[in-house]
Structure 1
């Protein structure tokens, strides 16, 4: 029986070889018709014998290209038109479907093989790519995703590339960045004065030699510049830190292969899968005890962030040299936006000895993604290259809503139809340069998605840069409480909509009572929430300064909790700060520049300072990260000890968690010279116990409460907390969810903001 179907496929199906895939299926099953790109979808008309059509549809759903991600397949029977062949039609420029663009993808195995084959015409070509790999997001200027709307437009294809591009059976059919040595971009090696030293493969060979000689180089990649140096040269790494103004924060390294990585770090099968995947993120790995890599790659930590080569240039650098491991960190002074444009060269002159540039323009910068794995569950710490710009489907009406995120680890989110488009990691909005970069990327997303916003969701903090930015926009502003956004972000990440419990362990968030929240026990959903419990407030003398100098935070807690002994204990713990302690005492007593805070991040900071691990933080979370790292060390002997704490009724304000007994005991253990690692382990066990007991008490008080719990907030980047809180609550019969697709820290709050705003808008319309 002869039949015909019209099939509309939505999802990530443009720029991934989907039309050639459909073409090959049609030929395989002897079918005629057409396939065409529409903005955000692919439209297929196919006709032939019914059995063949059914087989083709089945294979379409189950065997798509590796970079494709089908969201929906709509099939409708139509009258046959009598097509005589199957053809690929030119893209249609109009349409209001959500556009899916493939993320930038690591070099595929087929292209890598050709890159290293001396008889291949793309041998050692630094820009080799196909429909399954290469730049996408970073080079797209507009939609639909066709070459004229990418930064490859200025490179005219040679006859050989044109032939491949037009051949439906070739894996480079409609690969928009297609090129070869005869028609593609060029790589150029410059000294810091901009003088050309070498080009293309010679440039790559020379820069590898320069790295081996101890130079710091800039390398232009897919989404921006990296700073690179030999990961075994400790003094060079220190110089890189000085130039970048990054004294302690861990540096990522790029290693030649998984086999190389295994020499230095423990790698599970799942970690290996992430390392070698098309996203090619930085994976946080546990270093081996005998790892010879310098400690100053990640000072004070037992972990190293590693990634594999993901561009042709990276592979060639390792192939033609003796290099095994490179420090590979974003080329920007600490706290400033990524460098990615030609006019950024003057910044590179201050950072690098030499620079490897290319003339393929980067239209949108994007950083490397970072993931950490617990057994088989990934925790996304930075959602960027490889993961962006995949939209996420939702049941909420988010159309025409933009959420602006927070000030730290910023992302924004745009709603179009029933999808949310989350921006890549942008960073901390602490200066004009970062705010300008943020505004530019938001404008690009709006134009790209054709979003005409009616509403802006923002954090309630009155001093956030996003709050000031929202005042300049045309649209209704909807303030969202910080921890409510965390709560709903995790709910949405797991497809939950019913009211549930939330444990939000965070560093800083503006509370509805004007204090700083961050150790919250909430009950609610996207429509509303109740604050059922929280950590007892303590003074934060100096406010933001106490965040950057954890010893001040610790002194504030001691002076508040222990009026009689607190100053003496603080003086013993921080003898070099005696004069400052007296000043802090007056600040606390007279409430001068001393906000009240009850946050998990500040509690961790205080314990880190009390134990002498980190008195001053040079990057966000440093004190807590270095404290928690003791749990990863092989020599640690763990005990079952849990420190005392109190759970108290606070009238209408719910339960209050008081850790003063724990802090007193930790100080006594410190003065008694108890092993630091044992104290830290007992501290972590106490945090877990407090969370579990608070939830148990809340459920006892409210037996009808939903026994589903979500875990969110930046402190749950601590895998011990995430794993153990989840495990203990599950043992008590609770359903517990952690983040899966978006970060648990502030990089995920725009995701929660847009959902909450959607429900606020819908409730007003009722």
Structure 2
């Protein structure tokens, strides 16, 4: 038969995942000759052989690809026959303008685990065992191409054994840039609080497990930063950690030895189990069950708990040597600051928190917090999209110019986008703090370098005082594009669902706060949105926030503001509310409301939930973001009777004062759980009716929900039910956070959409 030649270009996640060795393998198996090389933007393959063998090769290319690879596109064309006699792997061919998609950090694979437990293997008990199918990637890389010399592993020259594997095309460690063993790779060391080494290597693992079992708090350095670890079954250890961190109630995540252990303290369905076991190993938020006795102080007054499984060799080895099967595993950072990644930094800043430190000696180039996911209304909802998912490409439904979204202020990410691709950064945090604002700039620089996207326009929030806004103004100048917060939420929702460029939806955006075009604080919005603009059609009633942001921290202030016009002063003073400075503070708040001074107006949905939580005695102070609303949801989950609280909507405004007053009137005559369920239900029905009315008037077929409130399963499910019953399509998020972690994507798409600037 006649020899044919084809040139094949494969784009996607094809670098650092064993893709070229895979191509070598299937080419030789099919009797083909030619070569494969990495060009940065893609992998180029030239293969010669008979037609049947070429077709078999293409079949294998589609169906047998490496587990960490992700193929976006395959282009094939005929090519002149060159008479190749072998199949070769050529050196990378890159220039300053080529980009590549860096693979994510992934959990240690079963093959590496098997080797790690094989007494005859030279990687026996070696925690940094990895191959082309697993291990750290993004957290290691410094620059492109993804070669060992451009990663943290450059400090660890390969030994003879690892070098042979690295050069052998048939070995799964062929060109595995992070490969190593105990003869040539990083090492573990266990130190006391002063930094004195008390054990090394596997002895450090054994001693660390003993310390955790005995009640110590250990700072453990992992893929993307430090965790603070303690025994999750010990009240004293968990309370010690809470007191040291000054986190009286914020829920801690836990890591369990295996899925069976997780099922002993949480309810798990098939989708949740699959996600726990996925190579990304995220924290999955699960409903608690009455099984294994974990400390009640891990997630106090909440119905759910965040759990994950071991993803590094270190984690597996710790559990093998521990008496407990569940650890508290929370990011090691001071309030509002980025997670720590440097050994000296951790020893210095965690000295009053950690008793001991389990350290390794390679540099973390890109910090990555744990990803957090919850299933809401049957769909994945990213609460935090980071380790295991960053920097995966997000497909855009249409092509845009090179642009960046710098994010809002809290729970920030940044997004770089160009043509039909976007790259959302890891979780950054609260940019009010100088250190986090500096980290934000570093992430922008690193992501620009890795994606080779030079943004022409800079999308940012409308709020004039955000550090992110100032940064965009400094960098973008006249090319700065100001994007209203809730419009950015809805655009990210439209992109998440790959709605085409001419789409029009009614978007419901529900959250805590976003600077509105009228200078007030929005947060309960119904918008008619296209990719080119939006109109605010309806919203929750504007309510006063006595003391501004103080009302967001103290729900009692917010509640007084909401009920001030419908209750007598004596009734307001009789409410069982909490004020840090007691009655004098309460009286000052009432005076502010009476005189109309020091008040900020808000239509925030979250502030209404906070007020309801305070009124029902569920949560009258806030120690972490979202606490009152989360506790309200947990109480509402126990509700069995819907009291059908009246929903009043007039001229596109949902009357939240009348709703809270009706709730007040029923205090003492109904179960608190039923009241909590009913107020959530009424609010959900109210915004759904506002959206349905808008959709009918504007002749729009699709209604969508975004914003942090969308993590509430009851509220999201009820809105979905009402909207669908009215005959409209309902969309929510799946690939992108519905909270503020997705705002940067919306900003980037608005900024990069050339139609907005014609």
Which interval holds the TM-score relative to the shorter structure?
over 0.9
CA distance in 1, matches of 2:498, 2:476: 31
Q: Please give the alpha-carbon distance, in whole angstroms, between the structure 2 residues aligned to 1:743 and 1:362.
A: 25
Q: 1:51 to 1:567 in 2, by over 3 A?
A: farther
- 1:211 and 1:399 map into 2 onto residues whose CA distance is 51
| Structure 2 match to 1:734 | 728
Moved over 4 A (4+): none
- The whole-number CA distance in structure 2 between the counterparts of 1:59 and 1:376 is 34
Deviation at 1:396, TM superposition (A): 3.8
Match of 2:594 among 589, 593, 597: 589
1:615 aligns with 2:613: no
Of 674, 679, 683, the match for 1:683: 679
Report 1:331-346 matches (<5 A). Answer: 331-344=332-345, 345-346=347-348
After TM superposition, the structure 1 = structure 2 runs for residues 177-196 of structure 1, keeping only pairs within 5 Å, are 177-196=178-197
Q: Is the 8 A contact 1:391 1:419 kept in 2?
A: yes
Q: Distance in 1 between matches of 2:756 and 2:559?
A: 44
Q: What is the CA distance between 1:453 and its match in structure 2?
A: 2.4
- Quick one: distance in 2 between partners of 1:393 and 1:374? 23
Per the alignment, residue 37 of structure 2 pairs with: 36
Query: For 1:651-705, what per-residue CA distance to the aligned partner results, in whole angstroms no more than 9, with x for missing partners?
Result: xxxx1111222211211222x24211000111121122112221232244x1x51
Is the 1:500–1:525 Cα contact (8 Å) retained in structure 2? yes
Deviation at residue 376 of structure 1 after TM alignment? 4.6
Mapped to 1, the partners of 2:578 and 2:729 lie a distance apart of 47
2:113 corresponds in structure 1 to: 112
The equivalent of 2:643 in structure 1 is: 641
Residue 722 of structure 1 deviates from its aligned partner by 1.5
Q: Check the 8 A contact 1:399/1:418 in 2, yes or no.
A: no
Query: Does the 8 A contact of 1:470 with 1:477 survive in 2?
Result: yes
1:359 to 361, 369, 378: 361
Does the alignment pair 1:601 with 2:603?
Answer: no
- 5+ unaligned residues in a row in structure 1: which ranges? 650-654
Q: Deviations over 1:623-659 (max 9, x none)?
A: 1011011234xxx35123221121112xxxxx11112
Residue pair 1:98, 1:416 contacting (<8 A) in 2 also? no
Deviation at 1:575, TM superposition (A): 7.8
Q: Partners in 1 of 2:343 and 2:642 — Cα distance?
A: 57
Shift of 1:728: 2.3
Among 494, 499, 516, the residue aligned to 1:496:
499
What is the correspondence of 1:194-593 to structure 2 with a 5 Å cutoff?
A: 194-344=195-345, 345-374=347-376, 376-475=378-477, 476-497=479-500, 498-559=503-564, 561-562=565-566, 564-565=567-568, 568-574=571-577, 577-593=582-598
The answer on whether the counterparts of 2:380 and 2:734 sit within 8 Å (CA) in structure 1 is yes
Unaligned runs of 5+ in 2: none
Deviations along 1:560-604, one digit per CA (max 9) or x if unpaired, are x31x52651352332874433321122123332211011101000
Q: Distance in 2 between matches of 1:45 and 1:699?
A: 53
Secondary structure at the aligned position of 1:638 is classed as coil
Contact 1:9/1:72 (<8 A) preserved: yes
Offset, 1:98:
3.8
Distance 2:488 2:87 in 1: 49
Match of 1:652 in 2: none
SS of the residue aligned with 1:106? coil
Cα distance in 2 for residues equivalent to 1:753 and 1:400:
12
Cα drift, residue 50 of structure 1: 0.7
Q: Which moved more, 1:346-355 or 1:151-160?
A: 346-355
Shift of 1:287: 1.1
**Take 1:303 and 1:72, find their aligned partners in 2: how far apart are those partners?**
40
Q: 2:703 aligned to 695, 709, 726, which one?
A: 709
Task: Tell me how far apart the structure 1 counterparts of residues 158 and 363 of structure 2 sit (CA, whole Å).
Answer: 17
Secondary structure, in 3 states, of the residue corresponding to 1:572? coil
Separation in 2, partners of 1:540, 1:477: 31
How many positions carry a matched residue from both structures?
751
Q: In the aligned structure 1, how far is the partner of 2:527 from the partner of 2:538?
A: 7
SS in 1 for 2:351: helix
Task: Find the aligned partners of 2:527 and 2:375 in 1 and give their Cα distance.
Answer: 27
Tell me the distance in 2 between the aligned counterparts of 1:418 and 1:93.
22
Q: Secondary structure at the match of 1:533?
A: strand
Q: Is the CA contact (8 Å cut-off) linking 1:4 and 1:45 kept in structure 2?
A: yes
2:688 aligned to which of 689, 692, 697: 692
Structure 1 stretch displaced more, 341-350 or 205-214: 341-350
Q: State the shift of 1:194 in Å.
A: 0.9
